[in-house]
C-alpha cells in the first residue's frame, strides 16, 4: 500500500477513520465523535475500502471492528502495523470469542479496546460518549512501541546481565502493591507481572478497559505469569503471590479488617472520567494500608490516579511513576510527577524490581 507519509491534522483536528460493516455502528460513531469540534470522522464499510481512503489521507486514529467482509479485523491490524503503524482502537462485541480476539489485538499493537455500541445516537449514554471521545484523544497521542509478535519473549540483555534468577520472597501479607494504567497499560502490566516472583506482595490493579474484557485479560495473564492473576470479585482476599484486576465498569477498593485486606468491587459514577478509576483504588489503599503500600502509576492519558497517588505518598507509601520514554502515553505519570506524588521515576523494565525493593521483598536466605 502506498500510504500517505504521515497523518495530517487540519487546524489541530484529530482525523478518525471508523471501519465497520454495520451502518448503524458507523452512524453512531460518526455522530458521537463529530459532536466534539476537535474530531473529524470518515467511515469505511470494510478494510479494503479503508486502505483506499488511507492511501489518499492517513487518519490519526483508526477504529476497527473485528468481524468484517473481505478482510477480518486482526488481519487488517497486522497489515497496518507492518506497513504503516498508526494508533488502532478495536471495537468489539462482548461475545467470548470476540473478547479473546480483542485481547489478541492488543498484543498485536492495538492501543485500546472498546465495546460495540448497540443503541441509537439518542440512547447512547452520556458517559459512554465521554469515554469514547477520551479513548480517541488518548489514541491520537499514543507513541507506538516496536514489539515482537505475540508469544515471542520480550527479554532484554538485563535478564542475563543484572537480574539473574527471580528472587524467592518471604511472605509479605501486610504489604500491597497498587497499580494504575490506561493506554498502553496491557503490555506494561504484562511485563511487570511476569517479573513478579512467588511470594511477592499482594497486587491490586486498575487498567482502564471495558466490562468483560478485563476477565479475558486477567485469564490470559494468569497463563503467562508465575503468580496467580484473576479479575477481582467482591470479598477476594489480597494475598501474597496474587494479583487482582478491577473488573471493567466497576470500581475496586481495598478494605482492611484487622490484619486481613480484601477487595471491594462496587458500582458508582465515573471518577476522574473513568470507572474503574485509579484514584478510587489509590485513595482506598492510602486509607487502608498507608505506609505498607507501594503505588505505581503507568502509561495512560489524563490525570486519573495522580491525586490518589499523592494521598498514598502523604500517608507514607512508596510511589513510582513510569518514565516518559517507556510510556505509550506520558499523561497519568506526568501529572502525578507534577503534583509531587512520586518518589521514584523509572523505565518500565525497572518498575518491578523497584517496587519489590520498596516493599522490602528480599530474597530468602537459602
Question: Is-contact 59 7, C-beta < 8 A?
Answer: yes
Question: Is-contact 331 301, C-beta < 8 A?
Answer: yes
Nearest partner of 187 among 114, 240, 133, 110, judged by Cα: 110
Catalytic position from the list 134, 279, 303, 304: 304
Distance CA 177, CA 189 (A): 13
Catalytic position from the list 15, 134, 208, 262: 208
**CA neighbours within 13 Å on the CB side: how many for 160?**
3
Do you know the residue count of the chain?
366
What is the residue-wise DSSP string for 259-328? TEEEEEEE----BTTBSS-HHHHHHHHHHHTGGGEEEEE-SBSS-TTHHHHHHHHHTT-EEEEE-GGG-S
Instruction: State yes or no: is 182 an active-site residue.
Output: yes
CB atoms within 10 A of CB 66: 23
Catalytic position from the list 92, 182, 262, 326: 182
CB atoms within 10 A of CB 88: 26
**CA neighbours within 13 Å on the CB side: how many for 196?**
28
Instruction: State yes or no: is 42 an active-site residue.
Output: no
Instruction: State yes or no: is 267 an active-site residue.
Output: no
Distance CA 185, CA 196 (A): 16
Active site residues: 182, 208, 304
Amino acid at each position: 500500500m502506498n500510504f500517505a507519509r504521515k497523518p495530517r491534522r487540519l487546524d489541530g483536528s484529530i482525523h478518525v477513520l471508523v471501519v465497520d460493516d454495520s451502518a448503524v455502528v458507523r452512524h453512531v460513531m460518526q455522530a458521537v465523535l463529530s459532536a466534539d469540534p476537535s474530531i473529524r470522522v470518515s467511515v469505511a464499510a470494510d478494510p479494503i475500502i479503508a486502505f483506499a481512503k488511507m492511501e489518499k489521507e492517513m487518519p490519526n486514529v483508526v477504529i476497527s471492528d473485528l468481524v468484517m467482509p473481505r478482510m477480518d479485523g486482526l488481519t487488517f491490524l497486522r497489515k497496518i502495523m507492518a506497513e504503516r503503524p498508526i494508533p488502532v482502537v478495536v471495537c468489539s462485541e462482548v461475545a467470548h470469542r470476540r473478547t479473546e480476539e480483542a485481547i489478541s489485538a492488543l498484543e498485536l499493537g492495538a492501543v485500546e479496546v472498546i465495546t460495540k455500541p448497540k443503541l441509537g445516537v439518542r440512547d447512547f449514554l452520556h458517559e459512554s460518549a465521554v469515554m469514547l471521545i477520551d479513548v480517541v484523544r488518548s489514541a491520537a497521542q499514543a507513541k507506538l512501541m516496536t514489539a515482537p509478535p505475540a508469544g515471542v519473549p520480550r527479554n532484554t540483555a538485563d535478564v542475563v546481565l543484572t537480574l539473574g534468577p527471580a528472587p524467592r520472597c518471604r511472605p509479605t501479607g501486610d504489604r500491597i502493591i497498587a497499580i494504575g494504567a490506561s493506554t498502553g497499560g496491557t503490555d506494561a502490566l504484562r511485563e511487570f507481572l511476569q517479573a513478579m516472583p512467588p511470594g511477592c506482595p499482594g497486587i491490586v490493579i486498575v487498567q482502564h478497559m471495558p466490562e468483560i474484557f478485563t476477565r479475558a485479560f486477567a485469564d490470559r495473564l494468569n497463563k503467562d505469569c508465575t503468580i496467580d492473576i484473576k479479575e477481582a470479585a467482591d470479598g477476594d482476599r489480597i494475598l501474597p503471590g496474587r494479583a487482582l484486576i478491577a473488573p471493567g465498569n466497576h470500581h475496586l477498593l481495598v478494605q482492611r479488617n484487622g490484619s486481613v485486606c480484601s477487595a471491594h468491587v462496587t458500582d458508582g459514577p465515573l471518577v476522574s472520567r473513568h470507572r474503574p478509576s485509579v484514584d478510587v483504588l489509590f485513595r482506598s489503599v492510602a486509607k487502608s494500608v498507608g505506609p505498607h503500600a507501594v503505588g505505581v502509576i503507568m502509561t495512560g492519558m489524563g490525570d486519573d490516579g495522580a491525586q490518589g497517588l499523592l494521598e498514598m505518598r502523604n500517608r507514607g507509601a512508596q510511589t513510582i511513576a513510569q518514565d516518559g520514554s517507556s510510556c505509550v502515553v506520558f499523561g497519568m505519570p506526568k501529572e502525578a510527577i507534577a503534583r509531587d506524588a512520586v518518589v521514584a521515576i523509572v523505565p518500565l523494565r525497572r518498575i518491578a524490581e523497584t517496587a519489590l525493593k520498596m516493599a522490602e521483598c528480599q530474597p530468602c536466605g537459602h
